[in-house]
Amino acid sequence: MEYESGRKTDKKKVSVVEKTRPRRFVFLLLVAVALMGGVIVFSTPERMGRDTLVRLKNTVAYLALRQAPHFYYLDVEKNGKDERLTPHDAFKLSYRDEFVIRNIVSDDLFGKALTVDVEGLGDVNDYRRILKGVELVDQWIMNTRKAGRPDVVEDFGINILYREKVIARIPIQVSITPQDWLRHAKNSKNRRQQVEYLKKAITANPHDPNVRKMLAASYFQQGRFNEAITQYRKILAAKPGDAGVMAELVKCYLGKKDYVRVVKTGQQQVKINPKDADAFANIAFAHAQLNQWDHAVENYRESLRLNPERGVLYYRLGDAYEKSRNLNDAIRRYQTFVAKVPRAVYGMIALADALLKAGRYEEAIKWYREVLKREPRNAAVYANLGLALGSKGLLNEEIENYKKAIALGLKEPAVYFNLAAAYEKGKRHTDAARAYRKILLLKPDDEEVVEKAANFEYKTKQYAKAVKLYERIVQKSKNKSVLYASMGFAYGELKKYAAAAASYEKAIKHGNRDPQVVYNLAHTYGKLGKAREAARLYEQYAARHPNRYVFNILAEFYMQEKLYDKAISVSLRLLKLDPDKASVYANLGYAYGLKGDADKAIESYKLSLKHDAEDDVVYLNLGMAYEKKGMFTEALNAYKTAYEINPESKKAAARYREIRIKMLKQSRG
């Protein structure tokens, strides 16, 4: 029973036509099989027998039982020649091959439901399309992650599909040749990948020098100089006299700055080819980098002899002469270079710099100005022009050029130093101080900069600022003795005597032997009330640099300490320096008097009065010396003169009265 819309219905009757359909199908099948057999027999008479029966059986199964058709072979045209590929074969390809699948033979006689897919090539259906083996080679090379480097790969195949289902697959054997790796290396823009391709090419053909050259060149372009050198050395091991390879090897050594090997390899080059101007130029350059200027000059000259038109070598030869302190030859070569390459501004600059060093200031100024016509914003040229103008005594122009250099962005401390020095020459101390402070901002940790700035503050009596700067660097500086001495003076001027003394002591401790430092420390000790320490240092100073001031200080100290012999000795030395100084004779007489030598005291006082007859104190002391000798008349006259010179001298008046009374008593008695 069948049902429709939920109601029971009667089964339909089968028509006569429908009853006859199975019979027609069987008949048609038999006809098709017969035709198939005929086709097979006539198309492949060599395959009669068992294969024919198998194919007849398969065809019946395909047509009658609806099974998938069996695949038998492909007819392929490769490079103009026909090949037949069965499921048991492998299709061999290289990058040179082109092919077309002409025919598919299977149980599907008409093949309308059959398609072909060549893995890695073509489109959805590659049947009867022109295909190229190079595309498979390229695809494998681009996509492979395999560590090995096989000559043949079998990663691809030809798939035969029936109604989009694979019924057979024929493997493809792709030959990978050294040329494939080279081709990819040449076409690759990725340097690292290029190297990998070339390494594989060398593995495939290790005796090909051209491949090694390509690999070495690729390494060089990547800056992998050691690896490039390894490859070039392998080539030279097989062919020692290859000058071209040596030239490339020199480039590698230049790249890694191995100038010793540049010289050695270059010398091997010129032995093979004595006319190789480039080889001599490279040798010269390497010598220059090694500061071997005489050898550099020699090889540059030889290179120019062989190729006098290579202008840049005149510049390099000039530089080599300049470095070897041969300024005249350097200037001549720079002049030649400028004549040959007039647009090379750097040559003009080198010429001007050499002229400046040689003291040819007028010519230097001319060339610097010529450069500025072409490069009006060249800050360094303004700075050097300033130096040249300053050397000519053109102070204002010198300063203006330094200022232009700075305004254009040249922040070199040296420029500020030169500017500060120019300001100092012009006595523009405020501007000079500003320049030094700018240098400190640029290089706050540079000892030389800090020291120079401190010295300038010291020189301009900005002692507080100077002390701060000295304190910053004195511990690290090599000039400790000098800096401590300057610090001591600065502290002294600030009346910080304890700090001044400590600084002077450190200066002496670090080896300062300047007598002035000893003198300053003695003076500072005096300010601190350290009379003995001061006297000891004054004695040291006086031993080397006797002077009135020190002797006076020492004489006063000795008198205070009742060291009369030392006081007398110092006074006598002082008289040698100043034999007409009345006060010295007076002090000497006073010392003799305290020592008890009245005769020498009287003699010294008289000499003092000979040079200054109006000194009441000396007359007073002379009277006291006469009195000790019992020479009352002379004493009375001395006291009287002292009082007459200075009526306010109570001591002179008192001594005069006492002597008068004493003399009256003596006359009555």
pLDDT level of residue 541 (50, 70, 90 thresholds): confident
Q: Which CATH architecture has domain 454-537?
A: Alpha Horseshoe (1.25)
- Cβ-based burial of 1 (10 A; exposed 0-12, middle 13-18, buried ≥19): exposed
Per-residue DSSP letters for 260-319? HHHHHHHHHHHHH-TT-HHHHHHHHHHHHHTT-HHHHHHHHHHHHHH-TT-THHHHHHHH
Most confident option among 47-56, 414-423, 561-570: 414-423
- Give the type of residue at 20: T
**Domain residue ranges in the chain:** 1-67, 454-537
Residue 550: the pLDDT is 81
Residue 84: the pLDDT is 94
Tell me the two tokens of residue 215.
């690999």
pTM above 0.75, yes or no: no
Q: Which of 347-356, 437-446, 489-498, 619-628 has the lowest mean pLDDT?
A: 437-446
| Whether 567 contacts 575, CB under 8 Å | no
| Whether 541 contacts 517, CB under 8 Å | no
Residue 52: the pLDDT is 66
pLDDT level of residue 262 (50, 70, 90 thresholds): very high
pLDDT level of residue 12 (50, 70, 90 thresholds): very low
pLDDT in tens, 137-182: 887 777 764 545 566 777 889 999 998 899 999 999 888 776 676 6
Tell me the two tokens of residue 163.
């109604």
pLDDT higher than threshold 50 for residue 41: no
Residue 532: the pLDDT is 87
Give the 3-state secondary structure of residue 225: helix
pLDDT level of residue 447 (50, 70, 90 thresholds): confident
pLDDT in tens, 613-657: 899 999 999 999 998 988 989 989 999 999 899 999 889 899 889
pLDDT level of residue 60 (50, 70, 90 thresholds): low
pLDDT mean over 330-348? 95
Q: Which of 352-356, 429-433, 505-509 has the lowest mean pLDDT?
A: 429-433
pLDDT higher than threshold 50 for residue 668: yes
Q: Which of 137-151, 418-432, 653-667 has the lowest mean pLDDT?
A: 137-151
pLDDT mean over 19-43? 50
Residue 185: the pLDDT is 63
pLDDT mean over 106-112? 81
Residue 38: the pLDDT is 52
Secondary structure (H, E, C), 374-406 = HCCCCHHHHHHHHHHHHHCCCHHHHHHHHHHHH
The rounded Cα 242 to chain-centroid distance in angstroms is 37
486/6 Cα distance (integer angstroms) = 124
Residue 18: the pLDDT is 46
CA dihedral 326, 328, 331, 337 (to 10 degrees): -80
- Give the type of residue at 43: S
pLDDT mean over 454-469? 90
Q: Which of 54-58, 269-273, 340-344, 578-582 has the lowest mean pLDDT?
A: 54-58
Say how many residues make up the chain: 669
pLDDT level of residue 65 (50, 70, 90 thresholds): low
